[in-house]
Chains A and B, each alone.
Chain A
Amino acid sequence: ETGVTQSPTHLIKTRGQQVTLRCSSQSGHNTVSWYQQALGQGPQFIFQYYREEENGRGNFPPRFSGLQFPNYSSELNVNALELDDSALYLCASRLMDRAHSAKNIQYFGAGTRLSVL
Protein backbone atom coordinates (compact mmCIF):
# COMPACT_ATOMS: atom_id res chain seq x y z
CA GLU A 1 0.00 0.00 0.00
CA THR A 2 1.69 3.19 -1.22
CA GLY A 3 -0.92 5.67 -0.06
CA VAL A 4 -1.33 6.96 -3.60
CA THR A 5 -4.67 6.27 -5.28
CA GLN A 6 -5.68 6.79 -8.89
CA SER A 7 -9.08 6.84 -10.55
CA PRO A 8 -10.54 5.43 -12.62
CA THR A 9 -8.68 2.14 -12.95
CA HIS A 10 -9.76 1.62 -16.54
CA LEU A 11 -11.11 3.98 -19.16
CA ILE A 12 -12.14 3.63 -22.79
CA LYS A 13 -12.33 6.69 -25.04
CA THR A 14 -12.55 7.36 -28.74
CA ARG A 15 -10.12 9.33 -30.83
CA GLY A 16 -10.57 13.10 -30.51
CA GLN A 17 -12.20 12.98 -27.08
CA GLN A 18 -10.84 14.53 -23.92
CA VAL A 19 -10.02 12.67 -20.68
CA THR A 20 -9.26 13.58 -17.08
CA LEU A 21 -7.35 11.21 -14.82
CA ARG A 22 -7.14 11.74 -11.08
CA CYS A 23 -4.56 11.05 -8.42
CA SER A 24 -4.65 11.40 -4.66
CA SER A 25 -1.16 11.73 -3.18
CA GLN A 26 0.13 10.78 0.23
CA SER A 27 -0.72 13.43 2.80
CA GLY A 28 2.12 15.94 3.07
CA HIS A 29 3.65 15.13 -0.29
CA ASN A 30 4.27 18.42 -2.09
CA THR A 31 5.32 16.96 -5.43
CA VAL A 32 3.47 14.83 -7.94
CA SER A 33 4.74 13.46 -11.23
CA TRP A 34 2.81 11.83 -14.04
CA TYR A 35 4.16 9.08 -16.30
CA GLN A 36 2.90 7.28 -19.39
CA GLN A 37 3.79 3.62 -19.72
CA ALA A 38 3.24 1.87 -23.03
CA LEU A 39 3.01 -1.91 -23.06
CA GLY A 40 6.41 -3.54 -22.59
CA GLN A 41 8.22 -0.27 -21.94
CA GLY A 42 9.34 1.70 -18.94
CA PRO A 43 7.36 4.74 -17.79
CA GLN A 44 7.98 8.00 -19.65
CA PHE A 45 7.95 11.25 -17.69
CA ILE A 46 5.11 13.62 -18.66
CA PHE A 47 5.44 16.43 -16.12
CA GLN A 48 5.86 17.26 -12.45
CA TYR A 49 3.95 19.64 -10.20
CA TYR A 50 5.47 21.16 -7.07
CA ARG A 51 3.26 23.21 -4.78
CA GLU A 52 0.63 23.56 -7.52
CA GLU A 53 3.03 24.80 -10.20
CA GLU A 54 4.41 22.80 -13.12
CA ASN A 55 8.20 22.65 -12.68
CA GLY A 56 9.34 20.06 -15.17
CA ARG A 57 8.06 18.56 -18.38
CA GLY A 58 9.02 15.70 -20.64
CA ASN A 59 8.60 15.40 -24.40
CA PHE A 60 4.83 15.55 -24.46
CA PRO A 61 2.70 18.01 -26.46
CA PRO A 62 0.65 20.79 -24.83
CA ARG A 63 -2.55 18.77 -25.15
CA PHE A 64 -1.24 16.98 -22.04
CA SER A 65 -1.88 19.31 -19.13
CA GLY A 66 -2.25 19.02 -15.40
CA LEU A 67 -3.37 20.53 -12.16
CA GLN A 68 -2.32 20.05 -8.55
CA PHE A 69 -4.59 21.07 -5.67
CA PRO A 70 -3.84 22.05 -2.06
CA ASN A 71 -5.54 18.89 -0.77
CA TYR A 72 -2.79 16.66 -2.28
CA SER A 73 -4.90 15.65 -5.26
CA SER A 74 -3.98 16.21 -8.88
CA GLU A 75 -5.29 15.73 -12.42
CA LEU A 76 -3.89 14.81 -15.79
CA ASN A 77 -5.91 16.11 -18.72
CA VAL A 78 -5.42 14.94 -22.27
CA ASN A 79 -7.21 16.68 -25.14
CA ALA A 80 -7.78 15.48 -28.69
CA LEU A 81 -6.98 11.87 -27.84
CA GLU A 82 -4.95 9.86 -30.32
CA LEU A 83 -4.67 6.10 -30.69
CA ASP A 84 -1.05 6.24 -29.44
CA ASP A 85 -2.26 7.72 -26.15
CA SER A 86 -3.43 4.23 -25.16
CA ALA A 87 -1.25 3.33 -22.19
CA LEU A 88 -1.04 2.94 -18.42
CA TYR A 89 -0.86 6.36 -16.76
CA LEU A 90 0.92 6.47 -13.44
CA CYS A 91 1.17 9.20 -10.87
CA ALA A 92 3.90 9.33 -8.26
CA SER A 93 4.08 11.51 -5.20
CA ARG A 94 6.98 12.44 -2.98
CA LEU A 95 8.14 14.98 -0.48
CA MET A 96 10.75 17.17 -2.13
CA ASP A 97 13.13 17.79 0.76
CA ARG A 98 16.76 18.78 0.18
CA ALA A 99 17.66 18.27 3.83
CA HIS A 100 16.35 14.73 4.07
CA SER A 101 17.20 12.97 0.87
CA ALA A 102 15.71 9.68 2.03
CA LYS A 103 12.31 11.31 1.77
CA ASN A 104 12.72 11.65 -1.98
CA ILE A 105 11.39 8.17 -2.52
CA GLN A 106 8.65 8.19 -5.13
CA TYR A 107 5.45 6.37 -4.29
CA PHE A 108 3.39 5.24 -7.25
CA GLY A 109 -0.29 4.63 -7.63
CA ALA A 110 -1.69 1.54 -9.34
CA GLY A 111 -2.34 3.50 -12.54
CA THR A 112 -5.18 4.18 -14.93
CA ARG A 113 -5.35 2.01 -18.04
CA LEU A 114 -6.53 4.21 -20.93
CA SER A 115 -7.66 2.67 -24.18
CA VAL A 116 -8.31 4.95 -27.15
CA LEU A 117 -10.36 3.41 -29.95
Chain B
Amino acid sequence: KQEVTQIPAALSVPEGENLVLNCSFTDSAIYNLQWFRQDPGKGLTSLLLIQSSQREQTSGRLNASLDKSSGRSTLYIAASQPGDSATYLCAVRLGTNAGKSTFGDGTTLTVKP
Protein backbone atom coordinates (compact mmCIF):
# COMPACT_ATOMS: atom_id res chain seq x y z
CA LYS B 1 0.00 0.00 0.00
CA GLN B 2 1.40 3.34 -1.06
CA GLU B 3 1.80 5.83 1.77
CA VAL B 4 2.74 9.47 1.26
CA THR B 5 4.15 11.65 4.02
CA GLN B 6 4.77 15.37 4.00
CA ILE B 7 7.01 17.01 6.55
CA PRO B 8 6.71 19.50 8.11
CA ALA B 9 2.95 19.78 8.55
CA ALA B 10 3.27 23.56 8.89
CA LEU B 11 5.97 26.08 8.05
CA SER B 12 6.21 29.81 8.67
CA VAL B 13 8.89 31.91 6.96
CA PRO B 14 9.61 35.61 6.39
CA GLU B 15 9.02 37.05 2.96
CA GLY B 16 11.93 36.60 0.55
CA GLU B 17 13.22 33.38 2.04
CA ASN B 18 13.91 30.32 -0.10
CA LEU B 19 12.30 27.16 1.22
CA VAL B 20 11.96 23.43 0.60
CA LEU B 21 8.90 21.26 1.14
CA ASN B 22 9.35 17.52 1.43
CA CYS B 23 7.32 14.56 0.22
CA SER B 24 8.19 10.93 0.78
CA PHE B 25 6.48 7.80 -0.54
CA THR B 26 6.86 4.12 0.31
CA ASP B 27 6.43 2.44 -3.10
CA SER B 28 9.07 3.66 -5.56
CA ALA B 29 7.31 2.14 -8.59
CA ILE B 30 5.42 5.33 -9.34
CA TYR B 31 4.20 6.59 -12.69
CA ASN B 32 4.26 10.26 -11.83
CA LEU B 33 4.19 12.71 -8.96
CA GLN B 34 2.21 15.91 -8.94
CA TRP B 35 2.46 18.93 -6.64
CA PHE B 36 -0.65 20.94 -5.90
CA ARG B 37 -1.52 24.11 -4.10
CA GLN B 38 -4.74 24.46 -2.09
CA ASP B 39 -6.06 27.69 -0.67
CA PRO B 40 -8.39 27.46 2.36
CA GLY B 41 -11.73 25.88 1.46
CA LYS B 42 -10.81 25.72 -2.21
CA GLY B 43 -9.94 23.06 -4.76
CA LEU B 44 -6.50 21.99 -5.89
CA THR B 45 -4.35 23.88 -8.37
CA SER B 46 -1.70 21.85 -10.18
CA LEU B 47 1.78 23.30 -9.85
CA LEU B 48 4.15 20.75 -11.35
CA LEU B 49 3.96 17.20 -12.70
CA ILE B 50 7.06 15.01 -12.76
CA GLN B 51 7.04 11.80 -14.77
CA SER B 52 8.87 8.80 -13.31
CA SER B 53 11.59 9.16 -15.96
CA GLN B 54 12.29 12.77 -15.02
CA ARG B 55 14.45 14.18 -12.24
CA GLU B 56 12.97 17.65 -11.96
CA GLN B 57 10.51 20.19 -13.32
CA THR B 58 10.59 23.95 -13.08
CA SER B 59 7.95 26.63 -13.34
CA GLY B 60 8.85 30.19 -12.47
CA ARG B 61 10.01 30.32 -8.86
CA LEU B 62 9.09 26.67 -8.30
CA ASN B 63 11.33 23.67 -8.79
CA ALA B 64 10.31 20.11 -8.02
CA SER B 65 12.73 17.22 -7.89
CA LEU B 66 12.13 13.49 -7.83
CA ASP B 67 14.34 10.69 -6.50
CA LYS B 68 12.43 7.48 -7.04
CA SER B 69 15.06 5.21 -5.54
CA SER B 70 14.86 6.98 -2.20
CA GLY B 71 11.13 7.62 -2.43
CA ARG B 72 11.43 11.37 -2.12
CA SER B 73 10.40 14.56 -3.84
CA THR B 74 11.06 18.15 -2.89
CA LEU B 75 9.36 21.37 -3.89
CA TYR B 76 11.69 24.35 -3.82
CA ILE B 77 10.15 27.81 -3.66
CA ALA B 78 12.49 30.70 -4.36
CA ALA B 79 12.05 34.21 -2.98
CA SER B 80 8.82 33.42 -1.15
CA GLN B 81 5.97 35.95 -1.16
CA PRO B 82 2.90 36.35 1.08
CA GLY B 83 0.79 35.17 -1.88
CA ASP B 84 2.53 31.81 -1.64
CA SER B 85 0.74 31.15 1.65
CA ALA B 86 -1.35 28.02 1.12
CA THR B 87 -1.31 24.27 1.72
CA TYR B 88 0.95 22.33 -0.62
CA LEU B 89 0.06 18.72 -1.41
CA CYS B 90 1.97 16.06 -3.26
CA ALA B 91 0.27 13.13 -4.96
CA VAL B 92 1.74 9.98 -6.47
CA ARG B 93 0.20 7.81 -9.15
CA LEU B 94 1.24 4.20 -9.72
CA GLY B 95 0.13 3.78 -13.33
CA THR B 96 -1.42 5.67 -16.21
CA ASN B 97 -4.56 3.59 -15.99
CA ALA B 98 -4.58 3.56 -12.24
CA GLY B 99 -7.31 5.82 -11.02
CA LYS B 100 -5.84 6.29 -7.66
CA SER B 101 -3.57 9.14 -6.76
CA THR B 102 -2.33 8.87 -3.20
CA PHE B 103 -1.97 12.20 -1.45
CA GLY B 104 0.00 13.38 1.52
CA ASP B 105 -1.74 15.48 4.15
CA GLY B 106 0.06 18.59 2.97
CA THR B 107 2.34 21.27 4.33
CA THR B 108 0.66 24.53 5.29
CA LEU B 109 2.95 27.40 4.41
CA THR B 110 2.66 30.90 5.85
CA VAL B 111 4.85 33.63 4.39
CA LYS B 112 4.98 36.68 6.63
CA PRO B 113 5.38 40.17 5.11
Contact = CB atoms under 8 A, between A and B. Distances in A.
B83 interface: no
Nearest to B52: A101
Interface in B51-102: 51, 89, 91, 93, 96-102
A96 B96 contact: yes
A90 B44 contact: yes
Interface residues of A, number: 36
Contacts of B106: 42
B100 A108 contact: no
Contacts of A35: 103
Contacts of B49: 102, 104-105
Which of A35, A47, A50, A113 counts the most B-chain CB atoms under 10 A from its CB? A35
Tell me what chain B mostly uses at the interface: helix, strand, loop, or mixed.
strand
Interface string A32-54: 01010000111111011010000
Contacts of B91: 42-43, 106
Given A41-B105, A43-B103, A111-B43, A55 B51 contact: no
Interface residues of B, number: 27
Interface string A52-74: 00011110000000000000000
Contacts of A33: 99-101
Contacts of A57: 99
A49 to B, nearest CB: 8
A19 interface: no
A109 B46 contact: no
A110 B41 CA distance: 8
Nearest to A105: B49
A2 interface: yes
A42 B105 contact: yes
Contact of B101 (A40, A55, A106, A107): A106
Interface in A74-100: 88, 90, 92, 96-98
Interface of B: 4, 31-32, 34, 36, 41-46, 49, 51, 89, 91, 93, 96-106
Interface of A: 2, 4, 6, 31, 33, 35, 40-45, 47-48, 50, 55-58, 88, 90, 92, 96-98, 101-102, 104-111, 113
